[in-house]
Structure 1
């Protein structure tokens, strides 16, 4: 565990020293792990608590570059889910759904409804977390996303944009 923390810290230092953090992140995509983001987030929290605005700003910039690179490498369903979870509220999520346009329903139902299965697993993971200040709001958001996405899929199926069978081709069965 210590060695992986060390690698995460070394990568963060590399991003902080880089003239082009996004390029550095792309070169190190495989190392942009959950542990990296947790480690970097811990450093960011400490910098904020200590009132070190300059360091916090640099860490935020490095983290955003790494997050954007990591996000772009994920499958489209997970990119959508991440955007929805990070959205401020229902109006912002509605805008994300609108941006998806007619390609959204097939994405939701593609690969055997992978989006919904992943959302269910994530919701279950959060439900099993010990009590913490973020748990209830996150659970509420995840359940709202599930309701909203189910409604979009159902409406699209009625209109013939998706068939709900998981093939994601947008054609009726």
Structure 2
């Protein structure tokens, strides 16, 4: 067993893990943060997407020991109290979810996408960047609409015509 320490959603935490423990399993099973979903364990679906040191990553492809000393943000830490993050609010307003299984990963990927494109997003860019996040329910139309609306809300005009 190896002791790991990290900041998760702004709180310092630690735990003993086997060297082979995936970060997704540490978050879900050790810390009880079940918003990080495990859909495939092969980094194909994106349901496990979180932020590690400010960047979107698939937590099923990272060992907990690799995250030692990192800043981790999960879907549970995105909102501020009862106030939804603008991306969460846009997903709600624009019906960017159906069953909800992929939604946490989509939202975490979207917040990083918006951060990385300060000059704005187009529909084509959003669709291209969502390639690693699978949704089997919605057909992506409302997800893309929600991300563009969130980018607009967060950056006073970040979304732009194609």
TM-score normalized by the length of structure 1 = 0.31
Structure with greater proportional helix content: 1
Q: TM-score normalised to the size of structure 2?
A: 0.33
